[in-house]
Structure 1
Amino acid sequence: MTLFTDLQSTLNLAQQGRYKAALKSARAGMRRHKKHPAFPNIAAVCLCSMDKKREAVPLYQKALSLDPNFHDARRNLGMALVSLHQNENAIKVLSKAIRNNPRDGQAWRHIALARRNLGDDRNALAAAEKALEIEPENEDTLKLHADALEKIGHISAALEACRSALKIAPSNINLLELTASLLSYQCITDEALSLRQKAATLAPQDIETLAPLATQLLTMGQQAEARSLCLGLLKLSPVSYSTMEELSLFQTKEQNVELRNTALKALDNSSLQASNRAYLYFTLAHIDRQAGDVSSAENYYVRANREVAKKTPYDAARETNVHKNIISRYSGPDLVGNQDPPDPRPIYVVGLPRSGTTLTETTLGAHPNVAPLGERRLSKILLSTFQDDLPFGADEQKKLAELQQENLPPLPSDTFAYVDKMPENHRYIGPLKSAFGNARFINLRRDPRDVALSQWHSHFTSGSITYSYDLKAIAHKFNLYAEIMAHWHKVMPGEILDMPYEDLVSDIDTSTKKIAEHCGLDWTPSMAQPHKHAGQVRTMSLHQVRQPVHKKSVNKWIQHEEMLAPFVAELDPGLWPEIR
C-alpha cells in the first residue's frame, strides 16, 4: 500500500469514530512509514479519544521529533498535558504552538484552561478572550470565557457573557448550569430554576444536571419537589451518596428508616473513597440524631469528621499569619472610610458559621427597603490581599467598592441597604469600612460550645471551612475570631453591634429593633417574623430558617459536654470568659 492510501484509510477510520481500528491502522502505518509524523500523531489522537492520554504523550513527542514544525502535534500534545494536569508543561508547549500559529483557537483555549487550573485567573481570562476572538461561536470557548470572568469576581459581566452565549448555544448543559449558578448567586431564582429545569429536560438521566436542580428546589423551600427528584436520582445512581445525605436532612423519621438501611448497606463496600464514606457517615449521623439515638449519632459524627479532616486538613499556621497581618495593618484608631460611598449601603452580618447569621439576614430581609443577598464574595478577594501581603490603599479600596457595585443584582429603586451575610467577613471589618464608609456591621455572638457543636454536625461540602472537622482546629479558629473582634471594637468603637444569638431567639422583637436602629432603619413588625419572609437560602441553615424563631438550639451543648471537652480545653479563657 502507498503512503497516501495508508494515511487516507487511517484518517477515515478515525473520522468515523472507530478509534481502536484507527489506532491499529496508525500503528501499522508507523511500521511501514517510519519517518512520517502523521501516523504517531493520529495514533495519539485515537488514544486520547479512548481516554488513554498518558499513552498518547510519547507518540505526540515522536511525531514532533520527526517534524519539529508539526503544529497540530504540538497543539495536541499541549491539550493532552492539560488533561493530565501537567499545566506548566502544557503552557510551554502551547505557547510555542501559538508563536507558530497565533490564530489557533484550540491552543488559546487550552492555555486558558491550564492557567485556570494553576489559579492564574487573570491570564486565564486574557487567553480565553483571545480564543473567543478567533472562534466566537465555539461553545467550549464561550463557557470558558464566562467562567474566567466569574473566577476574577466579575459576576455581572460573567452573567452577561453567559446569556449571550446561550443565544448561540441554547442547549449546552454546562453553560446552562453556569448561568443558573450565577443567577442564583444574584438572587434571580426563578430564572435560575427555569434554566436548570431546561437542562434536566435535555439530560433527564444526567446526575450532574439533576443534582443542582434538587438543591435549587431546596434553597427555594420546595421540599416535596426536591425529595421526589432526589429519590429519582438515587434510582438512577444508587451510589449518589451526597444525595443520601441531602435527603437525611429534611425527610421525616419514617422516611429516613429506609434510607438508613440503604446507607448501612453502602458502607459494606470496602473500596469506598474517603469522601463517600464521609457522606454515608454524615447521613447515618443525621438520621440517628433525628431519631434521638445520641450515642450512635455521635459515633457516626466522629467518623464522618475524621474522614473529611484527613482529606482537607486545617492550615493553622496560614490562618494565624493572615490574622496577624490584618491586625498589624489596621492597628490605629482612625479608620475614616470612604467619604463618598455608593448607595445602597451594605450591611455586613458577621460571626462564625452557625452562629445565627442566616437568621439575622432574614430578619433584615423582611424589611421592605432591604435586599438580602446571601454570602457575597469579597472575602475571597480580601483573603488574597492579606495572605499575599498585597497593598490595600485608596486605589484598591475604590476598586473593591466599584467591583461590589458592579456585581449587585438589579434592586428596587427604594432599596436603602443590602445584606452580605458572609460570616468570614469578621476578619475584614476594617478593610470593608475603609472601602464602604456607610457600611453597618452586626456581629452574631453565640455560646461557642453551641456553635462548635453545630459545626461538628454539619458537612460543609464546599471545602471552605476546613477547621470544622477537628475539635482543636475549631477552637483555634474561634480564638482568632474572638481576638480580631476585640481588636475591631477597640479601633472602631461604636461601629459594630454585637447581637447575642440567645437574645435574638428569646426576644425577637427587642433584638430586631436594636438591629434596625443600628442600621438606620425604621423597625417593621415583619422583621420579627423572619420565617414568613425566607426566600432563597443557600447555607446549612436552609431548613431551620423556614421555621418560627425558637430556642431549641440554645445550650444544646450540655448533652455533648464530654465530646466537646477537647474543644473547650483549647479555648482561650481570656477571649471566652463565659465558658469558665
Structure 2
Amino acid sequence: MNEVTAIELYEKARRLHERGKLSRAEQFYRKAIKTNKRFAPAHNNLGNMLVDRNRLAEATRAYQDALAHAPGDPRVLNNLGNVLHLRGKSKEAVSLLYTALETDPDYLDALNNLGNALSSLGRFNEATAVYHKAIQLAPNFAQLHLNLGRTLMDSGKLEFAIDSFTQAITLDPNYAQAYYSRGNAFQDLGQFTDASESYQQALQINPSASIVHLALSGLKKYEDTDPHIAVMQNLLGTYRQDDPNRAMLCFALAKAYDDLREFDRSFHYLSEGNRLRSKQLDYDLENDRALVSTIEGLFGLSSCNFNSASDSDLPNIPIFVVGMPRSGTSLVEQILASHGHVYGAGELDTVNRSLRSSIRQGSTKNEAKLEEDILEMSVEQLRRTYFETLSTLNVPERYVVDKMPLNLLWVGFILKALPEAKIVHMKRCPRATCWSIYKQHFSTNELGFAYRLADIAGFYNLYSSLMCFWHARYPGRIYTLEYEELTESQEHETENLLEFCGLEWDPNCLSFHNTKRPVTTASAVQVRQKMYRGSSEKWKNYEKYLDPLLNTLAN
C-alpha cells in the first residue's frame, strides 16, 4: 500500500516540477520519500529539483541517497557527477560519469557532463574526444557544439572554437550563449569589430544578458550620445538590489562614465558593483595571510633541504611571468611571444592546481600546514604535471610563457621543481595596480581580494613581502621588471628582459601590438595597442575615494 502511495505522491511532485512549481514539488517529493525511504526515483528527482533551485549541497545528498537505493543506476550517477562538477569537485565527478558510461556508453547527457568536467580540469584533449563522440550521436544538438567550442577556446584553438560556435548558431539561430562565446573568441584574437557584432547579436536575442553588456562595454569608447548607457541604466532598475547581475552592469556603467570623465558617477557604480561582488565571494584576507605565512615558514626552515626535482628534459623551457593582476603581465607576455622562439600560453592553472592539493587546512582558518614529506612529493608531482602540460601544448617554440600572475605564491616550488625555468616579476606602482584591480570585474572567482579597497591593499602588501622573501631565498633567479620603466625605455628594458631569458634580440618584440595571437585576459584590448605612458596616473582621478586603499598601503 505504501509503494502505491509513494508512487502517487512522486507523480504529483513530478507534475508540479514540470510546471515550475518548485516549492510544492519539493513538498511532495519529500512526502513520497517519507512514505517509502527506499524509493530511489523520488530521491533522484528531489535532487534535480534542488539543482534547479541552486541548492547544490542538498542536491548532492539527495543523489547519494538515490544511489544507495539504486546502486549503479547510470541516471543517478550522471546527476551526482554533474552536481559535484557544479560544486567544483570535478575529479570526483569524472569518476562517477565514467562509471555511468560503462553501463550506457551512448548516454548523451553523461557524455556532455563528462566533457564539461574534464574541461574544467584542464584535460582538454580528453574533453574534446568526448564531445566529438557525443556529436556523432547527436550532430544537431547545438549545446554540444557550444561546449566543444568552449573547450577548444580554453585550449587556445580559437579558430576551431569559432567554427564550433558558428555551427551551434547554424543549428539554433537564437542561441544567445553561442553568439556571446563567439564574441569572446573574436576578442581574444583581436578581431574587435567581429566581437562587437557577435555581442550585439546576442543582446538582440537576450537584451537582459548582463554579462554580454559588460563584455561589449570593454570594446567601446563611450560618448555622451551612446544609447547603450541608457539601455544599461534601465536594465539595472529591473534587478533586485542583491542580484549578481547588477554587479556586471555596474562595472559596465562605471567604464562608460569613466570614458565620459564623469568620475563621481563612475565611482558610484564601481563602488556598488564591487560591493555586490565582494558579498558574493565572501573573501577573508586572513586565509591568504595564513597561506603566505605557511609558505614562508616552510622555505625558511634550515632543515628544508629537499633536492630539486629530477632534471629530465622538459619539452620547452618555461618562462613564468608573475606579479599582481593588472600589473602588466599580459604586456610582458605579448612582448615575449612576439619573439620567434617563444610561445605565449596565457594563464595556465597547472601550478596552482597541482600545489593547492598539498595544503592541508587545520582546525581553524588561521591554521594551514604543509608537511615536508608531502612537499617533496608535490615538487616531483609538479614537474610531472608541468611536463604533461607542455607536452599537451605540443608547440615547436623552445620557450613557453606561463603568465598566471598569482604563481607568485609558488615561486619557490617552481624553482625546486623546474630549475631550468625563468621567473620574471612584473612590478607596477602600487596605487595604479590596486586601482586597476578595483575597476575590473574578473571572470574568475579566484581573486576574492579584488573587490574591497582595503583587501586589495592588504593582499598587495602580502605579495610585496612574499616577493622580497623569494628574492632573498633565491638571489639572481628572479628578474624584476618595472612597468613604468618599460613604458619609458621600451627598447632598453626589452633588451634586458630578453637577455635574462636567454633569448637573442628580435625586433618584433618592439612591435608587439602587431603580433597575431590569442590573448584571453582582461588586457586583451590593451596589448593590441602601442606602448603608451600615463596609465599609472589614472587613479588620481578618484583619489578622494581611495583612503581605505592608500592608508592600508602606507601601513
**TM > 0.5 fold call:** yes
Match of residue 257, structure 1, among 202, 226, 233: 226
Kindly state the Cα deviation for residue 363 of structure 1 after the two structures are TM-superposed. Answer: 0.8
Q: Are 2:82 and 1:108 aligned? A: no
Gaps of at least 5 residues in structure 2 are 362-368
Q: Are 2:347 and 1:375 aligned? A: yes
CA gap 1:311/1:435 in 2 versus in 1, 3 angstroms? same
What number of residue pairs does the alignment pair up? Answer: 542
Question: Which secondary structure state, in structure 2, belongs to the residue aligned with residue 181 of structure 1?
Answer: helix
Whole-Å Cα distance in 2 between the matches of residues 172 and 372 of structure 1? 34
Which residue number in structure 1 is paired with residue 309 of structure 2? 338
Kindly state the Cα deviation for residue 322 of structure 1 after the two structures are TM-superposed. Answer: 1.1
The amino acid across from 1:363 in the alignment is I
User: Computing the radius of gyration over CA atoms, which structure comes out larger, 1 or 2?
Assistant: 1
Question: Which secondary structure state, in structure 1, belongs to the residue aligned with residue 534 of structure 2?
Answer: coil
Kindly state the Cα deviation for residue 384 of structure 1 after the two structures are TM-superposed. Answer: 4.2
Match of residue 338, structure 2, among 341, 346, 366: 366
TM-score, length basis structure 1: 0.86
Which residue number in structure 2 is paired with residue 127 of structure 1? 96
Kindly state the Cα deviation for residue 122 of structure 1 after the two structures are TM-superposed. Answer: 2.8
Question: Which secondary structure state, in structure 2, belongs to the residue aligned with residue 571 of structure 1?
Answer: helix
Q: Are 2:326 and 1:357 aligned? A: no
The amino acid across from 2:356 in the alignment is L
Whether contact under 8 Å (1:82, 1:113) holds in the other structure is no
The amino acid across from 2:419 in the alignment is G
TM-score, length basis structure 2: 0.89
Q: Are 2:358 and 1:385 aligned? A: yes
CA gap 1:356/1:335 in 2 versus in 1, 3 angstroms? farther
Which residue number in structure 2 is paired with residue 538 of structure 1? 520
Whole-Å Cα distance in 2 between the matches of residues 393 and 553 of structure 1? 41
Q: Are 2:492 and 1:510 aligned? A: yes
Which residue number in structure 2 is paired with residue 433 of structure 1? 415
Q: Are 2:451 and 1:447 aligned? A: no
The amino acid across from 2:134 in the alignment is A
Whether contact under 8 Å (1:351, 1:357) holds in the other structure is yes
Instruction: Work out the percentage of aligned pairs sharing the same amino acid.
Output: 26
Which residue number in structure 1 is paired with residue 189 of structure 2? 220
Whole-Å Cα distance in 2 between the matches of residues 328 and 403 of structure 1? 25
Whether contact under 8 Å (1:244, 1:263) holds in the other structure is yes
Whether contact under 8 Å (2:81, 2:94) holds in the other structure is yes
Whether contact under 8 Å (1:162, 1:175) holds in the other structure is yes
Which of 356-365 and 298-307 deviates more?
298-307
Listed one character per residue, the Cα deviations across residues 188-247 of structure 1 (whole Å, up to 9, x for unaligned) are 111111111111222221322321111111111111122222222222222222222222
Kindly state the Cα deviation for residue 143 of structure 1 after the two structures are TM-superposed. Answer: 1.6
Question: Which secondary structure state, in structure 1, belongs to the residue aligned with residue 193 of structure 2?
Answer: helix
Q: Are 2:380 and 1:398 aligned? A: yes
Which of 219-228 and 64-73 deviates more?
64-73
Listed one character per residue, the Cα deviations across residues 267-321 of structure 1 (whole Å, up to 9, x for unaligned) are 4436454423323322222122212333332333233323322333331111111
Matches within 5 A, 1:164-243: 164-243=133-212
Listed one character per residue, the Cα deviations across residues 332-374 of structure 1 (whole Å, up to 9, x for unaligned) are 5867532314221211100001100000001111111211011
Listed one character per residue, the Cα deviations across residues 453-480 of structure 1 (whole Å, up to 9, x for unaligned) are 2112222132322222211111100000
Whole-Å Cα distance in 1 between the matches of residues 214 and 45 of structure 2? 41
Which residue number in structure 2 is paired with residue 14 of structure 1? none
Whether contact under 8 Å (1:450, 1:557) holds in the other structure is yes
Q: Are 2:402 and 1:420 aligned? A: yes
Q: Are 2:458 and 1:485 aligned? A: no
Which of 126-135 and 178-187 deviates more?
178-187
Which residue number in structure 2 is paired with residue 577 of structure 1? none
Whole-Å Cα distance in 2 between the matches of residues 487 and 495 of structure 1? 12
Kindly state the Cα deviation for residue 543 of structure 1 after the two structures are TM-superposed. Answer: 0.9
The amino acid across from 1:132 in the alignment is L
The amino acid across from 1:127 in the alignment is L
Which residue number in structure 2 is paired with residue 21 of structure 1? none
Which residue number in structure 1 is paired with residue 532 of structure 2? 550
Question: Which secondary structure state, in structure 2, belongs to the residue aligned with residue 102 of structure 1?
Answer: coil
Which residue number in structure 2 is paired with residue 476 of structure 1? 458
Question: Which secondary structure state, in structure 2, belongs to the residue aligned with residue 250 of structure 1?
Answer: coil
Match of residue 562, structure 1, among 540, 544, 553: 544
Which residue number in structure 2 is paired with residue 456 of structure 1? 438
Whether contact under 8 Å (2:327, 2:433) holds in the other structure is yes
Which residue number in structure 2 is paired with residue 520 of structure 1? 502
Whole-Å Cα distance in 1 between the matches of residues 424 and 178 of structure 2? 37
Which of 348-357 and 333-342 deviates more?
333-342
Question: Which secondary structure state, in structure 2, belongs to the residue aligned with residue 441 of structure 1?
Answer: strand
Match of residue 304, structure 1, among 273, 280, 293: 273
The amino acid across from 1:351 in the alignment is G
Whole-Å Cα distance in 2 between the matches of residues 268 and 90 of structure 1? 33
Question: Which secondary structure state, in structure 2, belongs to the residue aligned with residue 352 of structure 1?
Answer: coil
Matches within 5 A, 1:142-153: 142-153=111-122
Question: Which secondary structure state, in structure 2, belongs to the residue aligned with residue 347 of structure 1?
Answer: strand
Which of 256-265 and 487-496 deviates more?
256-265
Whether contact under 8 Å (1:45, 1:56) holds in the other structure is yes
Whole-Å Cα distance in 2 between the matches of residues 185 and 533 of structure 1? 20
Question: Which secondary structure state, in structure 1, belongs to the residue aligned with residue 400 of structure 2?
Answer: strand
Which residue number in structure 2 is paired with residue 161 of structure 1? 130
Match of residue 137, structure 1, among 95, 106, 109: 106
The amino acid across from 1:373 in the alignment is A
Which of 81-90 and 450-459 deviates more?
81-90
Whole-Å Cα distance in 2 between the matches of residues 203 and 104 of structure 1? 32
CA gap 1:144/1:548 in 2 versus in 1, 3 angstroms? same
Whether contact under 8 Å (2:434, 2:456) holds in the other structure is yes
Whether contact under 8 Å (1:186, 1:409) holds in the other structure is no
Which of 118-127 and 427-436 deviates more?
118-127
Whole-Å Cα distance in 1 between the matches of residues 506 and 122 of structure 2? 34
Which of 64-73 and 488-497 deviates more?
64-73
